[in-house]
Amino acid sequence: MTSEPALPSAARIEAVLTAPGGPWETGSRALETEDLSPGLGQSAVLRVHMAERDGATRSSWIVKIPGIGARSLLDSRDERLDDREVAFFRSVLPARLPTGVSAPSDATVLDADGRDWIVMRDIAHVLQRPWTPDAATKAAARIALLHAPIAADPDLLASPWLEREGHAAYTHHVPSGHDNLDALAGDSRLADLFTPKQVRALHLCLNAAEAVNARARILPQTLVHGDFHTRNAGVNADGTLILIDWEHAGVGPAGFDLGTFVAMYQAFGGLGTLDEQALLKTYGRALAEVGSADLYDAAAVGFAIAHLTWGLHLRLGPGLAAVRQGYLDGSPAQRASALEDIRSGCLRALSWAAVAGVDTGD
């Protein structure tokens, strides 16, 4: 059995970041590190507490090392997941992002120990601000602006490292989604999660995965963050939407990013109830303001597709599998929260099925 590479020590991080070309001044010290690795992708994420040469000035930094870590149940099967964020930060795209949207402005890529390290200042103070419906409205207007660099220069979408089938990233979970749905009736803990009519409709949505993905390919395309949710985004004091974790940056249908945000909003700690139609209108207006044709109807389809793909495939595949296999049995509150997210997320997907072109018989 091959062991995972060891995480770098504070001393090793200090040596790399103070070397020529590194972001720290000579004499800066790494005081301690915290492992923030989420376990959902193959990256180690470390927070490093640093003291500058004067000894009095302190700051914290993030060191992200792609390619370290075991795959989770999510298993995106994306061959470029380990190097796409590095390619993003080495490309022209961070500098081409429109006013109002930003990647961490001081992110840099270093070569250390035969691996790429992505290094940036810690922006936890932005990412940890509570998400509210008002903040979500601002985010909807801002995420639409990712269309601006593409409207100005369509050739940007030709970059070979961009993800092009992000909407289909979890289609391989469809068989397990069917199996998990079929098992509900025989599990006393889960038998009441959906009505028989809802189970039939969810099976139909899973069966429509290839048709839905085909429709996504012919919609108007835009630059997408690809993993837009409340844990990967924050609205700064000046209203700028700051986005981290660009591993899924790519080409996708307009509306898809907003759909993933709404699909995962409450699961990842968003407060209040979102008005999805109002968010779509805000997004559509912002698209028009960057000089595009009226893409509202197409964006609504892209939004719906996010719920029918990521929203369903993750919840009915690895989500229900985690519950059935007992991963959440140690905490009744955590288990109840997970089940409510699965139920509400799947019912939300059913409510958008017709827009995505799926006939559930209603």
pLDDT score of 1: 39
Rounded Cα gap, residues 312 and 197, in angstroms: 16
Q: Residue 238 CB: number of other CB atoms within 10 A? A: 6
Query: In the structure encoding, which two tokens stand for residue 137, read together?
Result: 């409205």
Stretch 31-57: mean pLDDT, rounded? Answer: 86
41 band by pLDDT with thresholds 50, 70 and 90: low
DSSP state of 310: I
Q: What percent of the chain has pLDDT over 90?
A: 78
Please provide residue 140's backbone torsions phi and psi, each rounded to the nearest 5 degrees: -60, -40
State if pTM tops 0.85: yes
Stretch 126-143: mean pLDDT, rounded? Answer: 95
217 band by pLDDT with thresholds 50, 70 and 90: very high
Rounded Cα gap, residues 257 and 259, in angstroms: 5
Q: Give the burial class of 125: count Cβ atoms within 10 A of its Cβ; 0-12 exposed, 13-18 middle, 19 or more buried.
A: exposed
Helix orientation angle between 256-264 and 133-143, rounded to the nearest 10 degrees: 160
Q: Give the burial class of 300: count Cβ atoms within 10 A of its Cβ; 0-12 exposed, 13-18 middle, 19 or more buried.
A: buried
Query: In the structure encoding, which two tokens stand for residue 48, read together?
Result: 């490093």
Q: Does residue 227 carry a pLDDT above 70?
A: yes
Stretch 145-149: mean pLDDT, rounded? Answer: 93
pLDDT score of 73: 63
Q: Which positions ≥6 away from 91 have C-beta within 8 Å?
A: 159, 161
The per-residue pLDDT for range 278-288, each reduced to its tens digit, is 999 999 999 99
333 band by pLDDT with thresholds 50, 70 and 90: confident
361 band by pLDDT with thresholds 50, 70 and 90: confident
pLDDT score of 76: 74
Q: Does residue 160 carry a pLDDT above 80?
A: yes
DSSP state of 297: H
Stretch 140-165: mean pLDDT, rounded? Answer: 92
Q: Does residue 70 carry a pLDDT above 90?
A: no
Query: What sign results for the dihedral spanned by CA atoms 65, 67, 71, 74?
Result: positive
Which phi-psi region, left, alpha or beta, contains residue 346 (left: φ > 0; alpha: ψ -120 to 50)?
Answer: alpha
Stretch 102-127: mean pLDDT, rounded? Answer: 94
Of residues 40 and 87, more confidence is placed in: 87
Q: Does residue 189 carry a pLDDT above 90?
A: no
